[in-house]
Amino acid sequence: CEFQYRESIFKRNKDWIIFSTSLRMESGEAVELQNEADGILKVRNEKYPPSMKCAGSIFKNLIVSELPAAVREQIPSKVVREGKAPSAWFLEQVGAKGMRRGDIQVADYHANLIYNAGQGTAADLVAVISDLKERVRGKYGFDLEEEVQYVGF
């Protein structure tokens, strides 16, 4: 499967669709596992309420060592975690929060969260993503990479 950080053979073969899978996992204490799952769900539901129509984060975080030196120098050390800079930080710097096209909107509280506030279209979503990528490219000289997968485009 060639799993890596947000990468696999499945992401490189865009025409592949996974219909089912079997996973083998280590067993553990049920109470501990449930507590961990509950904690993860709590954090996720705060960021992405279950009623929100979104795919989660749109862009991959960036590996700092792979960025041009001039860009690395601009990133505050407090935003870097495990060698990665959040794409949301770059999006904030280009005014992404609250941006809207039709019913497709960038969240006011997280620049890497795009959601459908009503009857947004795929065309609106693609336009917002394209605009955000152009803004970051214009200011920083590199392309953000989407982590969402497009189906039927």
Residues 8 and 21: beta-carbon distance below 8 Å: no
Chain-centre distance for alpha carbon 126: 15
Structural domains counted in the chain: 1
Would you say residue 67 lies in a domain?
yes
Residues 128 and 99: beta-carbon distance below 8 Å: yes
Q: Determine the structural domain holding residue 118 and report its residue range.
A: 53-140
Would you say residue 78 lies in a domain?
yes
What does pTM read for this prediction? 0.76
In this structure, what CATH number is given to the domain that contains residue 102?
3.90.78.10
Confidence band for 39, pLDDT divided at 50, 70 and 90: very high
Q: Is 6 a catalytic residue?
A: yes
Would you say residue 34 lies in a domain?
no
Would you say residue 75 lies in a domain?
yes
Give 108-138 pLDDT, tens digit per residue.
Answer: 999 999 999 999 999 999 999 999 999 999 9
Would you say residue 30 lies in a domain?
no
Half-sphere exposure of 83 (CA within 13 A, CB side): 4
Would you say residue 20 lies in a domain?
no
Would you say residue 28 lies in a domain?
no
DSSP secondary structure letter of residue 59? B
Would you say residue 60 lies in a domain?
yes
* Catalytic-labelled residue, pool 6, 44, 81, 100: 6
Rg (CA), the chain: 17
* Catalytic-labelled residue, pool 72, 92, 146, 147: 147
Q: Is 87 a catalytic residue?
A: no
Q: Is 77 a catalytic residue?
A: no
